[in-house]
Amino acid sequence: MQDRTVDEGDDKPYAAPPAAVLQEFDVDPAQGLSDAEADRRRERYGPNTLRHAPRVSAFEIFVDQLKSPVVWLLAAAAALSLILGDITECVAILLVLVINTATGFFSEIRAVRSMEALRQLGVQSAQVRRDGALHRIPAEALVPGDIVFLEAGDLVAADLRLVEAANVWCDESTMTGESVPVEKSLDPVPPDTILADRNCMLHKGTALVRGTALGVVTATGMKTELGRITDLVLEAEPESSPLDRKLQQLMGQIVWVVIVIAALTTLVGVLGGRDLPLMIEAGVALAVAAMPEGLPIVATIALARGMWRMARRNVLVERLSAVETLGSTTVIFTDKTGTLTENRMTVEALWLPRGEYRIGDGAIADAHGNDASDDPALIRALRVGVMCSSASLGQEGKDEAGEEGTGDPMELALLRAGRIAGLERDTLLAEWPEIGQEAFDTATKMMATVHHTDGALVMLVKGAPEAVLGASTGQLGDKADRVKLDRGYWLDAAEKMAEQGLRVLAFAEKETADPAATDYEDLLFIGLIGLRDPPRADARDAILACREAGIKVIMVTGDHAVTGRKIGEAVGIADSATPAVTGSELKPLAEQDEAERQGLLATRILARVSPEQKLDLITLYQSEGEIVAMTGDGVNDAPALEKADIGIAMGQRGTEVAREAADIVLRDDAFSSIVAAIREGRVIFGNIRRFLLYLLSCNFSEVMVVALAMLAGLPLPLLPLQILFLNLVTDVFPAFALAAGEGEKDVLQQPPRDPREPLLARRHWGFIVFYGVLLTIATLSALLLAEYWLELEGDAVVTVSFLTLGLGQLWHVFNMRGANAGVFRNAVTANPYIWLSLELCVGLIFLAMLISPVAEALRLVHLDAKAWGLVLACSLAPLVVGSLVHPVLRLWRKRRG
């Protein structure tokens, strides 16, 4: 056999008839390839495997922690301390570096597992025809041109063009998002047909749920659709979270400020005749003072606490910074099936000769709202639906949506509807024994069962409305008699039901003399039945909460447009006038003009979109400055989950690939859980901003105290080791307490933050400077009074300034109350962790003075009562002044607004 196969991916086998595809791959379906030819093609195309991104090693993650300018600055400070001979100070600074590096390392180490999960979708073996005989071979040994045989339950090992098919239905939900199995056929489709509608193809990673098939391999490995999605995952660079970016920006700014202040202070001191080693020590003190060493630890703990709270709401967090990212979300791209809906097909309506019937909440009602569960016409229609079936509901009525049962989702829905009317399949079959069955056939689009009853044989039929109507010659009359069939009326009725987003089936029956004969002729048409995957009960309220929170919700579904639009109306995403845009209507983002982009930004429902189009949508919104959250459950969602600012996977029905690519996993698959997580994210961001204000105002005061003292020719008021003690002990624990706040009740009624707003805006820097100046004035006042009023010297003066600033920073935590909060009753005073942190920090300060080795290292000495009185008075002054100024600022903001 000559090797004249085409390159994989260069053709469109779904657009050609089976014979042409077989000819293109130079293979006879009755014989298959020879082993020798298969070996030659394997050398040409390679194994049928997926490539994967190299795993990031723990060492690489560790090295990344050392690339921060903050680390470099503190390392330089440690080196200078070593050069100056202060070993204790050097060791202390290095200890801070170790703590921060370890915190970053253990919080960020996260293996890249998406590709392993993709590879696991590849089956271990496949039945292939080689040299005229069927063999089971490893899946990676498949080559283009191989003839593969599949039956119900098999996973597809490569992309195949069907050449033979007998009642083939395939579950493609992981690839396309289609919520129900898809019927397959041999007929070619147009070259521009989207993936979800290529019904003559079977794709790697999907599964046959019904029938048998023979197909020719058209693509293997990375050339398959699954391989193409793998490439998209590899190419979709995950966006760093807004919090990561803002913290990095803030820390970078602080580093430059530190360098400038330390250099200027040292230079001015040297030019003023001060001792060089002393000025270098002062420069080190300034560098250590300005850096909020506790910030990474506090941020990590704050996010971790949010993660624990979210876990109680069925939200599992893979990446800590994802907690905050949810809080800044401005756009949510949500799937339909299982997230907004129950992922459980349900009979919703019947259209019979007597009129329409509705099923809901365990009851059946006619058009007037009256109970119709014993209506003879209804019972006759549901009996066909229950008996003309191959599904089994089980004694407890459970199916795959948390209930026990097996079979097609729509047949299970029919069994549940029958149970509402008191019709049990087992009971009916005992009265009407089944003696024959004709499985659903793609050619006839119908299925039938034959039953024996009262000495007669009855054939029950269900199928596509146009097919059943075409085989019917009469319809059931109002008096249960046979009347003339009004085919046009029923076709219009079926179309109206479909326009409501229902999946429509038709029922019919006839008496027959031959139990083996299942000819679809001369049927008695009974009626239509409409099924739907209903919206979740809490979905509409959750969508409303998003709207009140200023968050846009956009449905991106693999289902049909009309179905998506109806669910969108039901849950409040759109109204009846809102159009749904399909993937076939979307141009690539690079080819869209400004008007088309704006039109897409205004769209709220998108259907039948491809993985590439999902990436384009995310890119479009991110380019507009939006923070994008993306939900998904299938293989086709993995690239978008990776690309979005926040990827949200479904825990119950999501594939392993989607879960590994996501930042957050919903254990209950409910949209309402996303809303709860968004609230938690907003609370976390507010807490982070609050403790940042606290830490930086404390650090600013330390910088100002050291810098002003040196410039004024005063003794060094704080030593580097003392500043480290303040930053890592007395600053961090109150910051922890602030991070544990529960948030305001109306947090979801506030609009989302402007994604372009920095972590700390101008007004926040004003707050930092104002309170930093108050703490600085109080500390330098204590220093001057201790030296000139109390006539203290040396370490005693430093001890007074150290205690004043340390205690002043502790009382400063009460200045972190809300803008409209009272002095004594507010979120800070109501937080029990605040009081615990104050008790702990005051105790640590006293222990530092009482334990001789620690006191010697910090150069602390005992003070008399007057000195302690001075410390208490000066340390309380910033809180008193702040409490007096706070209402004045509040009034000024109110008048200004």
Element (DSSP H or E) covering residue 598: helix 594-601
- Judging by beta carbons within 10 Å of its beta carbon (0-12, 13-18, 19+), is residue 71 exposed, middle or buried? middle
What does the H/E/C string look like for 245-299? HHHHHHHHHHHHHHHHHHHHHHHHHHHCCCCHHHHHHHHHHHHHHHCCCCHHHHH
Element (DSSP H or E) covering residue 332: strand 331-334
What does the H/E/C string look like for 836-861? HHHHHHHHHHHHHHHCHHHHHHHCCC
d(CA 117, CA 641): 14
The token pair that represents 845 in the structure block: 């300060």
d(CA 20, CA 10): 15
Catalytic residue, from 146, 335, 408, 637: name it.
Answer: 335
Locate all alpha helices (DSSP H) within 66-147, ordered by sequence.
69-83, 87-108, 114-120
Residues 6+ apart with CB under 8 A from 699: 289, 290, 291, 292, 727, 731
Between the two ends of the chain, the Cα-to-Cα distance in Å is 83
Kindly give the pairing relationship between strand 523-532 and strand 552-557.
unpaired
- Cα-only R_g, the chain: 36
Question: What angle is formed at CA 178 by the lines to CA 176 and CA 184, rounded to 5 degrees?
Answer: 90
Kindly give the pairing relationship between strand 605-607 and strand 581-582.
parallel
Treating both helix axes as pointing N-terminal to C-terminal, what angle do 58-65 and 87-108 enclose, rounded to 10 degrees? 130
Kindly give the pairing relationship between strand 201-202 and strand 159-171.
antiparallel
d(CA 412, CA 431): 21
Say if residues 618 and 333 touch (Cβ distance below 8 Å).
yes
d(CA 246, CA 241): 9
Residues 6+ apart with CB under 8 A from 492: none
Question: What angle is formed at CA 375 by the lines to CA 425 and CA 371, rounded to 5 degrees?
Answer: 105
Query: What residues does 359 pair with on adjacent strands?
Result: 364
Treating both helix axes as pointing N-terminal to C-terminal, what angle do 276-290 and 671-711 enclose, rounded to 10 degrees? 160
CB count in 10 Å sphere of residue 894: 10
Question: What angle is formed at CA 591 by the lines to CA 590 and CA 592, rounded to 5 degrees?
Answer: 95
Amino acid at 385: G
Amino acid at 803: L
668 carries an active-site annotation: no
Nearest Cα to Cα of residue 369 among 359, 354, 377, 383: 359
Contacts 24+ apart (CB under 8 A), 512-520: 512/450, 512/457, 512/458, 512/459, 513/457, 514/457, 515/435, 515/436, 515/450, 515/452, 515/457, 516/436, 518/436, 518/438, 518/448, 518/450, 518/459, 520/444, 520/446, 520/448, 520/461, 520/467, 520/471
Give the side-chain half-sphere CA count within 13 A for 724: 21
The token pair that represents 873 in the structure block: 């008075």
- Judging by beta carbons within 10 Å of its beta carbon (0-12, 13-18, 19+), is residue 454 exposed, middle or buried? exposed
d(CA 770, CA 290): 16
Q: Which residues are catalytic?
A: 335
